[in-house]
Amino acid sequence: MKISLLSATLVVAVGVSALPQVVPGTQKAPALPVQKFRDAGFHLKPLQLNEILAGLVNNTLLPGSAPKKPDVHTFATEAAADQCSNPRVRPEWESYSDDDRQAFINAIRCLMGNGPSGQFGNSHSRYEDFIALHQTLTPNVHMNAKFLYWHRQFLWTFEQVLRDECGFDRELPWFDETRFSGKFAQSSLLSSQWFGTASEGGNCVDNGQFANLALNIGPGTDNTYHCLSRNLDEGASANTNQQVVDGCNAQTDYAQMASCSELSAHAWGHNCIGGVMEDVASSVGDPLFWMHHGFIDRNFRIWQNADSNRLNYVDGVDHAGNALTLDTTVNVYDIRPTVTIRDLIDTKGTHLCYKYQY
């Protein structure tokens, strides 16, 4: 898995007339070699199931020595937060109705058709603002214990922008990769009706509602005009199975679990889709990113649910080696206000106010 930044423009509209149409004479975005995405930046070597089950989760995500895990009782009172009265329930994709699926895709495509905020120089649409944000902060929010909390806030922010700017009024879906491990292609998600197929062999996705999506930034630090490409590897997708998820969630320490999560189901999920998804920072260019990170956040929530004390403390360090605390800030460059880990630790708290279908 590697790094890059990219921005996205849709060169062929499918279903939503508001999206920009093909400009006459504009060259169709080409597919870049698969290796370009693999070599774009740092590479995460995913954990194998036998390493997880043998307890060989080598926490390389925590530079230096991780601080001693605080006494959870010390934080219990100050970490406690009011819960919202009516949390949204995020449904798994396969239980999402066709009407809800279309509403979700329409909202994403709406962002792709809306102008950028102007905050990110390389962004050409509101959707690209999210790609640029992720690329900018990737070195800070990957390979360290902030990974799960930052992406939780990032996903929630995306949902709020879909609601506020594109009228999205359904629940945010996620993709249960354990149900389709080793057989992603059999999911309706990866079909020509919805997100497009993934068995493209590194070529452009030319079907589904994101067909011929053109990306202007990435891989790596390059700005190279290219298409949304995928290169499905079912051997890699097999490593998003329930045993892998359970193995990481058997870790009793937050920082160890976060490391295991990033290096297992998270890494395998990106790598198995391939193409744009395999280049960490530019992976937001593939709308499958949101479905995948819903899965990762759901796994995190299951770990938290297993012990109520896990809603009262955090440990590990950030990219600079600073100890995480409940007052550590999490920012999304003011797309939404900066919050703290305390605000994010409970998805049913007043800030986030959601839970998962299961």
For the chain of 358 residues, list the mean pLDDT of each consecutive stretch of 10. Answer: 38 39 57 91 76 71 40 40 91 98 98 94 90 92 97 98 98 98 98 98 97 86 87 98 97 96 97 94 94 98 97 96 98 98 98 98
Q: Are 326 and 342 in contact (CB under 8 A)?
A: yes
Q: Are 339 and 83 in contact (CB under 8 A)?
A: no
Beta-carbon-side half-sphere exposure of residue 12 (alpha carbons within 13 Å): 16
Give dist(CA 355, CA 261) in Å, integer.
Answer: 19
Q: Are 119 and 16 in contact (CB under 8 A)?
A: no
At residue 24's C-alpha, the angle toward residues 18 and 27, to 5°, is 100
pTM of this prediction? Answer: 0.89
Q: Residues 275-305, buried b or exposed e (16+ Cβ, 10 A)?
A: bbbbbbbbbbbbbbbbbbbbbbbbbbbebbe
pLDDT of residue 205: 97
Q: Are 338 and 351 in contact (CB under 8 A)?
A: no
pLDDT of residue 43: 59
Give dist(CA 161, CA 117) in Å, integer.
Answer: 12
pLDDT of residue 192: 98
| 3-class DSSP string for the chain | CECECCCEEECCCCCCCCCCCCCCCCCCCCCCCHHHHHCCCCCCCCCCHHHHHCCCCCCCCCCCCCCCCCCHHHHHHHHCCCECCCCEEECEHHHCCHHHHHHHHHHHHHHHHCCCCCCCCCCCCHHHHHHHHHHHHHHHHCCCCCHHHHHHHHHHHHHHHHHHHHCCCCCCCECCCCCCCCCHHHCHHHCCCCCCCCCCCCCECCCCCCCCEEECCECECCECCEECECCCCHHHHHHHCHHHHHHHHCCCCHHHHHHHHHHHHHHHHHHHHCHHHHEHHHHHHCCHHHHHHHHHHHHHHHHHHCCHHHHCCCCCECCCCCECCCCCEECCCCCCCCEEHHHHCCCCECCCCEEECC
CATH 1.10.1280.10 correct for 8-356: yes
pLDDT of residue 191: 98
Q: Are 127 and 111 in contact (CB under 8 A)?
A: yes
Length of the chain counted residue by residue: 358
Give dist(CA 276, CA 202) in Å, integer.
Answer: 9
Q: Which position has the token pair 């198995």?
A: 272
- What is the domain partition of the chain in residue ranges? 8-356
Tokens of 100: 């809800």
pLDDT of residue 45: 78
Give dist(CA 322, CA 137) in Å, integer.
Answer: 16
pLDDT of residue 221: 72
pLDDT of residue 15: 41
pLDDT of residue 298: 98
pLDDT of residue 6: 35
CA 62 to chain centre: 20
Give dist(CA 128, CA 279) in Å, integer.
Answer: 16
